[in-house]
């Protein structure tokens, strides 16, 4: 799904992300390492920290969705599949720790055949 599908009024929209993933905003929040209030309060949704975390999750999902054939399966992978070389941590756990760049590097390495 294109990035524009997750946006509303120039920002990533937790509501649109939740709709696309057939879940709730309450489920999206912990998937990004944010508290519920960060996605429910209008003034906090547009904060740089909240927008960064939402963008990181969406970028990762967009990178892996073609591999799995759907955004829903990509979201399940993001939340539950341990990544090689990260001590059993999932992409979600790494994003929650502020390590999204490492997930992107991992995906680049997989694309290059390093972990194939």
Domain boundaries, the chain: 3-111
Beta-ladder partners of 90: 82
The residues pairing with 12 across neighbouring beta strands, listed in sequence order, are 7
Rounded CA gap, 14 and 45, in Å?
8
Give one word for 10, left, alpha or beta, with left for phi > 0 and alpha for psi -120 to 50.
left
Q: Tens of pLDDT along 53-101? A: 999 999 999 999 999 999 999 999 999 999 989 999 999 999 999 999 9
Q: What is the pLDDT of residues 8-48, one digit of tens each?
A: 888 899 999 999 999 999 999 999 999 888 888 888 898 99
Could you tell me the pTM of the whole model? 0.89
d(CA 49, CA 67): 28
């Amino acid at each position: 799904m294109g990035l524009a599908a997750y946006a509303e009024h120039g920002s990533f929209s937790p509501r649109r992300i939740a709709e696309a993933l057939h879940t709730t905003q309450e489920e999206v929040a912990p998937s990004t390492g944010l508290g519920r209030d960060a996605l429910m309060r209008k003034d906090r949704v547009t904060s740089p920290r909240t927008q960064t975390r939402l963008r990181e999750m969406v970028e990762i999902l967009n990178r892996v969705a073609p591999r799995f054939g759907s955004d829903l399966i990509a979201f399940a992978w993001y939340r539950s599949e341990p990544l090689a070389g990260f001590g059993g941590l999932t992409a979600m756990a790494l994003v929650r720790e502020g390590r999204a760049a490492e997930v992107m590097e991992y995906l680049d390495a997989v694309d290059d055949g390093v972990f194939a």
